[in-house]
């Protein structure tokens, strides 16, 4: 889509320091959507999600009962359950910002979020129904078909919504208002702000560029007064709705002067972040008294957050030990019968606040390294036993760390703890490495479910793993832990990065 013409409007010689660029006509979308706004699309996607869930729930119940019993069955019960599922699903998706345009158009992320949220909602509601002894009200056939058909409809709708929204963004179908921009000379061409505003419906009708030496001048208003008067007249005539300022934030005098020149216009004026400020404003904005700050690094979890996380750890580790007890017992017997040495391998790792602890794992090697020099396991490593290869491949060797979780040294989810020798090495060469110790280490983590698991053959791989770990720490929620645990069950088995 062509947003701007780069040909300047001719100006008098005395005013060649300023360019006024006019917007070229927007590409035709084939239909008129001047009323379309991003917030409307976000709400529409949520409403259609809920409608599809309710329709699929009721439809599956009626269809299954007609096919098996020849009657409609308890349609009202299934209607109420479908509404409950729809409300929980949409609310959880809203919490994850799943209806933002950026997420809607990111199909892989949208699919992952839909799958995990849909499965989580079903699992939670089935557990509640079982606990309250009302599960006999729902037939297994209806429940399974509701899960599968509802998920299929949601994924198909997500694909259609992503395609349509992406096309609408490309063609400028969104209408957020007519706008003008006052920019520092050169920034309009080098910044992606203009194209981003255009995609989200802000029609830039005119851009006025001011050279750096004029912006630095204390006489900015008086020297450019005719141009500002012309811009004000243009804004009134064309019914402009927004004004954007694109310039270095250090030019405080220029910004104040421009605001003064535009004070006669009853319009909102937006200051676009410059290149230096933009990267910091990606972080959450936090109110600290009367001052708002960008939280570049969050504090360790509060006592309430730690209590929630600890409760999940205790419940999850206890249940996992009950479920995996037969597997762990068989593994211990096989290790003892197939190689010499102890069943468990203990090694020094660093946990919360850098404190050292002994981690438990099933022994998969013929050596028990724990000292200043430790070599990571590699592909076809001769130190790995025959059964050890399979244990590492399936992550069964990690199960004894459930005892570390119960002891409080580790959490179910968190940055993976590295051997003390590697910890000391990476702290010296990776700047933010030590920040990983702001939370307890975990059996699984955000980096692991995103593919950064096993041997790190290069510094770049370790840096990428640290990047994911830091994102997890800065964005922790209990729901994020649940998502990671669910994803771990999907990616743990057969992942080739582990050997």
Q: How is the chain split among helix, strand and coil, in percent rounded to 5? A: 55, 15, 30
Same domain, 258 and 187: yes
Asked whether residue 404 carries a pLDDT value surpassing 90, the answer given is yes
Instruction: For residue 85, tell me if it sits in a domain.
Output: yes
Say yes or no to pLDDT of 381 above 90: no
CB 301 within 8 A of CB 437: no
153 and 208 in a single domain? The answer is: no
In a domain, residue 216? The reply is: yes
End-to-end CA distance of the chain: 49
Does residue 256 sit in the same domain as residue 325? no
Among the candidates 252, 282, 312, a domain finishes at 282
Least confident range of 97-111, 147-161, 371-385: 371-385
**Residue 350 three-state SS:** strand
8-state DSSP, 135: G
pLDDT at 368: 67
Instruction: Supply the DSSP string of 52-76, one letter for each residue.
Output: HHHHHHHHHHHHHHHHHTSS---HH
Residue 224: inside a domain: yes
pLDDT tier for residue 16 given thresholds of 50, 70 and 90:
very low
- Same domain, yes or no, for 351 and 471? yes
Domain check: are 464 and 437 in the same one? yes
Tell me, yes or no, whether 290 lies in a domain.
no
Q: Are residues 343 and 432 in the same domain?
A: yes
Q: What is the pLDDT of residues 259-291, one digit of tens each?
A: 988 888 888 888 888 777 777 777 777 766 677
Domain that residue 475 falls in: 303-491
The whole-number pLDDT of residue 412 equals: 94
pLDDT, tens digit, 9 for 90 and up, residues 110-119 = 898 899 889 8
Clarify whether residues 233 and 106 are in a common domain: no
Phi-psi label, residue 289: left if phi above 0, alpha if psi -120 to 50, beta otherwise: left
Handedness of CA 43, 44, 49, 51 (dihedral sign): positive
Q: Are residues 462 and 360 both part of a single domain?
A: yes
C-alpha–C-alpha distance, residues 444 and 416, integer Å: 6
Residues 6+ apart with CB under 8 A from 37: 174, 175, 176, 201
420, 427 contact by CB (below 8 A):
no
Residue pair 69/84 in contact (Cβ under 8 Å)? The answer is no
Flag whether pLDDT at 82 surpasses 60: yes
Tell me the mean pLDDT in the region 337-354. Answer: 85
- Residue 363: pLDDT above 50? yes
| End residue of a domain, out of 282, 317, 335 | 282
SS3 223: helix
The pLDDT tens digits of the residues spanning 427-483 come to: 767 767 777 888 899 999 998 888 877 665 667 788 888 888 888 988 888 888 988
The top-scoring range by mean pLDDT among 166-175, 202-211, 314-323 is: 314-323
The answer to whether residue 7 sits within a structural domain is no
Q: Which residues of 90-113 are buried (b: 16+ CB within 10 A; e: fewer)?
A: bebbeebebbebebbbebeebeeb
122 pLDDT band, cuts 50/70/90, is: confident
CB atoms within 10 A of CB 264: 12
pLDDT for the residue 160: 92
Spatial contact of 434 and 354, defined as CB atoms under 8 Å apart: yes
Q: Which of helix, strand or coil describes residue 272? A: strand
Reported pTM: 0.50
In a domain, 125, yes or no: yes
Give me the pLDDT at residue 135, please: 54
How far is residue 497's CA from residue 499's CA, in Å, rounded to a whole number? 7
Model confidence band, residue 407 (pLDDT cutoffs 50, 70, 90): very high
**Interatomic CA distance for residues 279 and 185, integer angstroms:** 21
pLDDT, residue 132, reads: 65
Q: Are residues 17 and 47 in the same domain?
A: no
How far is Cα 352 from Cα 254, in angstroms, rounded to an integer? 48
Tokens found for residue 11: 């100006």
Residue 32 lies in a domain: no
Range 68-93 average pLDDT: 80
Percent of the chain with pLDDT over 70: 79
The residue among 147, 171, 195 that closes a domain is 171
| In a shared domain, residues 410 and 322 | yes
- Summarised one tens digit per residue, pLDDT across range 221-265 is 888 888 999 999 999 988 888 899 998 888 889 999 999 888 888
C-beta separation of 200 from 175 below 8 A: no
List Cβ neighbours of 199 (8 Å cut-off, separation of 6 or more).
1, 169, 170, 172, 174
The answer, yes or no, to whether residue 68 has pLDDT greater than 50, is yes
What backbone torsions phi and psi does residue 9 show, to the nearest 5 degrees?
-75, 130
Here the contacts of 16-20 (C-beta below 8 Å, separation 24 or greater) are 17/185, 17/210, 17/211, 17/213, 17/214, 18/208, 18/209, 18/210, 18/211, 18/214, 18/224, 18/227, 19/185, 19/207, 19/208, 19/209, 20/206, 20/207, 20/208, 20/209, 20/227
Judge contact between 151 and 122, C-beta under 8 A.
no
* Average pLDDT of every residue of the chain: 79
pLDDT at 374: 59
CA 127 to chain centroid: 27
Could you tell me if residue 355 is inside a domain?
yes
Write out pLDDT tens, residues 31-50. 444 556 777 888 899 999 99
Domain count, the chain: 3
Output the six-digit token pair for 91.
């609310």
Residue range 160-176: mean pLDDT, rounded: 77
Question: How is residue 267 written in tokens?
Answer: 């319009």
pLDDT digits over 409-423, tens only?
A: 999 999 988 877 667
Instruction: Assess contact for 215 and 278: CB atoms under 8 A.
Output: no
Confidence of residue 146 (pLDDT cuts 50, 70, 90): confident
54 & 131 share domain: yes
Q: With contact defined as beta carbons under 8 Å apart, do 78 and 142 qualify?
A: yes
CATH code, domain with 271: 3.40.50
Is 154 found in the same domain as 180?
A: no
Unique residue bearing structure tokens 């599968």: 148
pLDDT of residue 329: 93
From CA 452, how far away is CA 450, in angstroms rounded? Answer: 6
Higher pLDDT, 9 or 60: 60
């Amino acid at each position: 889509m062509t947003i701007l013409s780069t040909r300047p409007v001719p100006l008098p010689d005395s005013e060649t320091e300023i360019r006024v660029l006019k917007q070229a006509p927007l590409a035709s979308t084939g239909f008129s959507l001047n009323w379309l706004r991003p917030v409307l699309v976000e709400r529409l996607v949520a409403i259609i999600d809920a409608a599809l869930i309710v329709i699929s729930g009721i439809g599956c119940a009626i269809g299954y009962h007609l096919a098996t019993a020849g009657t409609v069955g308890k349609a009202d019960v299934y209607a109420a359950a479908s509404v409950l599922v729809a409300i929980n699903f949409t609310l959880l998706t809203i919490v994850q910002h799943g209806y933002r345009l950026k997420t809607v158009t990111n199909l892989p992320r949208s699919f992952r979020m839909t799958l995990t949220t849909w499965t989580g909602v079903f699992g939670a509601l089935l557990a509640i129904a079982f606990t309250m002894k009302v599960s006999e009200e729902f037939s297994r056939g209806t429940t399974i078909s509701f899960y599968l058909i509802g998920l299929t409809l949601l994924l198909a709708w997500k694909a259609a919504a992503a395609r349509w929204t992406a096309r609408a963004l490309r063609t400028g179908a969104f209408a957020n208002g007519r706008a003008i921009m006052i920019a520092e000379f050169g920034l309009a061409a080098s910044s992606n702000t203009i194209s981003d505003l255009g995609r989200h419906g802000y029609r830039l009708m005119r851009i006025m560029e001011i050279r750096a030496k004029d912006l630095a001048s204390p006489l900015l208003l008086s020297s450019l007064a005719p141009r500002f008067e012309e811009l004000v007249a243009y804004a009134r005539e064309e019914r402009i709705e927004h004004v954007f300022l694109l310039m270095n934030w250090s030019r405080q005098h220029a910004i104040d002067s421009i605001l003064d020149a535009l004070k006669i216009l009853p319009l909102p004026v937006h200051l676009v972040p410059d290149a230096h400020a933009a990267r910091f404003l990606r972080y959450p904005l936090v109110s600290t008294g009367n001052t708002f700050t960008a939280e570049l690094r969050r504090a360790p979890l509060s006592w309430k957050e730690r209590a929630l996380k600890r409760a999940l750890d205790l419940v999850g580790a206890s249940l996992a030990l009950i479920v995996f007890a037969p597997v762990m017992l068989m593994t211990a017997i096989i290790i003892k019968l197939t190689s010499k040495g102890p069943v468990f391998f203990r090694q020094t790792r660093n946990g919360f606040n850098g404190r050292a602890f002994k981690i438990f794992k099933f022994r998969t090697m013929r050596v028990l390294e724990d000292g200043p020099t430790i070599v990571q396991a590699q592909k076809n490593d001769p130190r790995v036993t025959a059964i050890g290869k399979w244990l590492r491949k399936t992550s069964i060797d990690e199960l004894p760390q459930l005892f570390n979780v119960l002891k409080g040294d580790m959490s179910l989810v968190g940055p993976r703890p590295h051997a003390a020798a590697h910890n000391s090495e990476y702290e010296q060469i990776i700047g933010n490495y030590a920040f990983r110790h702001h939370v307890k280490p975990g059996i699984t983590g955000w980096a692991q479910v995103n593919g950064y698991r096993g041997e790190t053959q290069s510094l770049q791989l370790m840096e990428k793993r640290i990047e994911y770990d830091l994102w997890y720490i800065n964005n922790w929620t209990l729901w994020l832990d649940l998502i990671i645990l669910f994803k771990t069950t999907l990616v743990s088995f057969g992942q080739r990065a582990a050997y």
